Amino acid sequence: MRILLLDKNHPLITEQLLAKNFILEEDFTSSYDEVCNKIENYDGVIIRSRIPLDKNFLEKAKNLKFIARVGAGMENIDIPVAEKMGIQLINSPEGNRDSVAEHVVGMLLILMHRLFIASQEVKNGIWLREENRGDELLGKTVGLIGYGNMGKATAKRLSGFGCKVIFYDILPNLSDEYATQVTLKELKEQAEILSLHIPLTDESYYLIDGPFISDMKNDFYFVNTARGKNIETKSLVEALKAGKVKGACLDVLEYEKSSFENIEGENEDLQYLLNSEKVIVTPHIAGWTVQSKEKLAQVIVDKIIAQFA
């Protein structure tokens, strides 16, 4: 099988697939149109986020047997068209779930214990104790939306901090030793921390908006390591200013490019997030560790070999 690699990944992908006699071509620079013009020559494609695999792309990929995304989210692919064409879709959420879970806990600790603020103050000769009194995770009720690989890994960590973890998911009967499944109404009534672990779909676009935030019974901390467009930024900013959202941990932003490589444009809401002491922002790196790079790649290779070698 001829496989086209469109993004740089861990070298084990190339090494192990070559060892199984796959024919590989790396192309990390060609434009969308250039790739479209040659995609019919390949049986498989391995991607991250650089190029969208939309309807036009897939219709030109007449011989494609599989699309492998090194990561979890698949919104860069026109899934209905791919499925209609019989193209196998492969991703690797198992590979970075632990990284995401640790990132969630890390951001919450930094925010709730004012670690970054206090550290910067001391480095600037300011010694404030009462003003930097923290808020403990112990005893908090954490509500997760989405209980797949990321949600489960996050629940496992937070349960170890003495949190009560509840979750809402569209699939039934997912409760385990770390978290209890509830209705969305129950989650809104109980959660003191809200964390998103969902893909970006038509149903989850702006899932968290003004009415959703108003329905939350408690003032709460908000965490998003999923996709920036899962929440309406304008509503988040309004809730932060009003105190309904006590603080936000954002690894993803509504204004990211589709390739996740940077932010597109500037506006008042974005500037508020970037300047507020109540907000922790990181550049879409929750699943981005030394270990996850290797694990993501290994999961993809194992799935390709299992189905096509």
Catalytic residue numbers read 227, 256, 284
Separation CA 52–CA 59 (nearest Å): 13
Q: Which amino acid is at 53?
A: L
Query: 3-class DSSP state for residue 213?
Result: helix
Alpha-carbon span 137 to 109, nearest angstrom: 8
Residue 205, CA atoms < 13 Å, CB-side half-sphere:
3
**What's the token pair of residue 60?**
């030109």
Q: CB-based burial of residue 191 (10 Å sphere; 0-12 exposed, 13-18 middle, 19+ buried)?
A: buried
- Among residues 76, 79, 27, 34, the alpha carbon closest in space to that of 261 is found at 76
Read off the DSSP letter of residue 130.
Answer: G
Give the separation between CA 257 and CA 44, rounded to whole angstroms. 25
94 Cβ contact partners less than 8 Å away, ≥ 6 residues apart:
149, 295, 299
State how far the Cα of 199 lies from the Cα of 192, in Å rounded to an integer: 22
